[in-house]
Structure 1
């Protein structure tokens, strides 16, 4: 039996293009004792994938190597097993790859088959943990403070804003279209949402955050970063979850002023979700409670078909999705 997979054929130069991946056919492996085979059904597309395609060895994960299957997160079903802990029919989630079938590993998590795969990837796995740990453990928000979150219509940003609202903060979202901003305010309950493409963005931010900004959850970087940074209050916290606008550049944009970091007693902290894995149970408990109470919701942007993965990744980086980007096949 054979199956399809996408391997990396070259590293991107600037923007992601579909020609950096090669569709290959692989032979199904013969299982050894303790191994199990997973047929993937849903796969997550995430901004972090761009960092995995940077050939640098000092990152939190080694880069995907030329000729290797592209790394990803996925949900699937065990279809063959020589491991009693993962019998046939078990539903799992974990680090997988752009492959129709993958060999399972001990770090995969068994999931309740009654929970939709979309909910797992959009809320009850790394996306939810990223939102929770970044905001609550790094940002340490206090009731009554003002939060600004960039990439607010994405999978993580939309959860960050809703979680902050549930915790009693004033929430200002930043997104890339008026339609996304409308969704953030009218459906998710953000206090305000700003289109970063607006010429008067700085003035709009002053109106939306009249008391300044106490917590800045940064997902995108770009020219608006300095505008938001300049409106931070003393003792504000900056959570650097991602800088999407800089991933395609060989030389990143100049960062914020260290003078302001000093004089305003700011805390600027980079954040990688895998460093906070010990808080996963806590995060899922809180998010599950808020979901049941109707204080948060999730939205998915789903495309069909395994072979749509490269094109889907390009759409992700063009900002075409609202909510969690999932490929189903």
Structure 2
């Protein structure tokens, strides 16, 4: 059986592209006892992956070693099994990497129910959903009637944060990068308002929406959107930090906020990563399932075909051309 995988050739200094990977075609060995062979169907493209290929060793996960298959979350189907932990036909999710096939030992991937479309595990019931729920509900501790601002609001995480916020009785304003995305947030997802950070006056827009200030802010971007939110926080407000995608490729921040606001307004800043909270996933997905059944959550996927397209498609996360959760389709279900 032939496999193809993408291995990290060199570490980027800017945007991650095709030139940083080797395409490896290889014949798979017979499956070993105690393992299962998985055919990958989808892999997730996430901004955090840019940090995983940096040389830094002081992050929450070690860097991908040069020559190794690129790390990524994914979902696939068990094709063959020589372990009681998996059976042929099981759907399994976890860190699959950029590969068509992989052999796994018990516990390496999780078997997931086949009660929703497989692609749902790339969105609501995947890392995006877990991140949105934990970040807003567990870290942000929202209360009905409060005002929430979300940057990167049309992205896979931000769009769910805003919808969860609405389901919890919050007033929600999103900040996105195009008029089309802002319209989608308000008309389709039910946000109360949205601002285009490229064309709107963010300071003015936030003041008009929340003249008394923001109670809660969910940060995905950094730069001008973060500065505007910080300047418009209410005293004792809380800011939850999920990402700073604007500087992941080595760029300098386009605006540095006045951090004396932390003291003047007695703000709470808290960052998080979901690798610290795997134990919460069953509870989180149960709650997200209730919201889905109640019709309170919508999501959209931006699916590109072919594993070989993954490096080029990854750039869509940084130029804002993705519309929803960015996923690579590796094979047919």
Give the TM-score band, short-chain normalised: over 0.9
- 1:44-103 CA distances to partner (integer Å, 9 max, x unpaired)? 111111111111111011111111110111110111211111011111111110000012
Correspondence 1:27-106 to 2 at 5 A: 27-105=27-105, 106=107
Q: Which runs of 5+ in 1 are unaligned?
A: none
Distance 2:205 2:32 in 1: 60
Distance 1:91 1:161 in 2: 29
Distance 2:261 2:211 in 1: 20
Distance 1:79 1:281 in 2: 25
- Kept in 1, the 8 Å contact 2:203–2:232? The answer is no
Indicate the residue corresponding to 1:155 in structure 2: 156
Distance 2:300 2:209 in 1: 25
Structure 1 residues 128, 150: CA separation in 2 closer, same or farther (over 3 Å shift)? same
Correspondence 1:230-269 to 2 at 5 A: 230-249=231-250, 256-269=257-270
Distance 1:57 1:251 in 2: 21
Q: Which deviates further from its counterpart, 222-231 or 177-186?
A: 222-231
Distance 2:34 2:253 in 1: 44
Distance 1:107 1:130 in 2: 21
Q: TM-score, normalised by structure 2?
A: 0.95
Q: Does 1:208 align with 2:209?
A: yes
Name the SS of the counterpart of 2:218 in structure 1. strand
Correspondence 1:5-44 to 2 at 5 A: 5-44=5-44
Name the SS of the counterpart of 1:132 in structure 2. helix
Name the SS of the counterpart of 2:290 in structure 1. helix
Distance 1:65 1:318 in 2: 27
Q: TM-score, normalised by structure 1?
A: 0.96
Q: Which deviates further from its counterpart, 10-19 or 38-47?
A: 10-19
- Kept in 2, the 8 Å contact 1:172–1:209? The answer is no
Distance 1:260 1:200 in 2: 20
Indicate the residue corresponding to 1:296 in structure 2: 297
- Kept in 2, the 8 Å contact 1:301–1:325? The answer is yes
- Kept in 2, the 8 Å contact 1:246–1:253? The answer is no
Correspondence 1:187-206 to 2 at 5 A: 187-206=188-207
Indicate the residue corresponding to 2:136 in structure 1: 135
Distance 2:263 2:327 in 1: 41
Distance 2:328 2:23 in 1: 16
Q: Which deviates further from its counterpart, 111-120 or 243-252?
A: 243-252
Distance 2:317 2:324 in 1: 10
Distance 2:251 2:204 in 1: 31
Distance 1:115 1:169 in 2: 28
- Kept in 1, the 8 Å contact 2:151–2:225? The answer is no
RMSD of the TM alignment (CA)? 1.6
Indicate the residue corresponding to 2:283 in structure 1: 282
- 1:93-149 CA distances to partner (integer Å, 9 max, x unpaired)? 111100000122414111123421211110112111100000011111111111111
Distance 2:323 2:211 in 1: 27
Name the SS of the counterpart of 2:43 in structure 1. strand
- Kept in 1, the 8 Å contact 2:227–2:255? The answer is no
Distance 2:153 2:323 in 1: 9
Q: Which deviates further from its counterpart, 110-119 or 291-300?
A: 110-119
Name the SS of the counterpart of 2:98 in structure 1. coil
Name the SS of the counterpart of 1:61 in structure 2. coil
Q: Does 1:126 align with 2:138?
A: no
Name the SS of the counterpart of 2:10 in structure 1. coil
Number of residues of Structure 1 aligned to a counterpart in Structure 2: 329
